Structure 1
């Protein structure tokens, strides 16, 4: 039996053989193998300070859509950072990244990497926040690869503002409550 402490007054008890990965944001743990995980919460602590808005990253090559997403989501209680290029987005990430979720367009400008490649790079760098992919060109193979790479969900373009808001609210709430984890597994991404 192994007892891990994630934050003050909280512990995770792991029994059985497993591999444990500690991710670089919010002290998230990835536990793989036949182990049984039991969480013992002594005094629940809020994951974020009261009143602090969750951060969402938006990646889309359409400037008008970025402006619309930013305005709508900021008016709905999020902090928002927007990016037009996948490489620019990946370069901007730091160890202190405070994103609670992200939303990427699957197809970006032809000279750029696509949203799926950005997602794969995020997971390879051990960022574990949920990512919603937007696509107007969904196919079964792309969908399968996205979920194997750690996609939270897909939304079909044009997605309604209400659908976007609902998915991001649910994703951030689950992430901040420690209910989501996307461990990096290169074998899964290769499929």
Structure 2
């Protein structure tokens, strides 16, 4: 099968395998029984191989999962937890795609009423990422923490997350060991309106 071939060489582009993932993602809603294991299989592949996957295939997998999430086939928390992990990948296009989905999905999940369970879990996840980076501020961890902080700030400004816990997460970042993270948090409290940017000059394109 295509999956077996891919698992032998997960670092290759595997265009045919990517096309198959896209196709199944598009039709999964019509064949729920036959594709019941498919979302978790893609999640597992990304979890295990995200650092060595070919950039095009990695983005195809992420786009497939987003499509499945938009069809309500995957729970929000399952996908968002994975996506925060993928912030560590040195691929700016991937991070931008993930960031955009995170903001949109959390906003939609809170559109009718506050999804306190989801919010609490994700806020805790962001806090953990920021704390982990304080102890291990490698370039990959620093970018993941910065994107997590950016998400907190944007969700607060959009009125999606405007509770004390969000403010506390951002406040903790004011004392972060990574200067870029510290500056962003301080600017938030000073009311500075700055576009969120990260230095991706050495990323894959």
Q: TM-score interval w.r.t. the shorter chain?
A: under 0.3
**Between structures 1 and 2, the one with greater strand share:** 1
TM-score (norm. length: structure 1) = 0.28
TM-score (norm. length: structure 2) = 0.26
**Between structures 1 and 2, the one with greater helix share:** 2
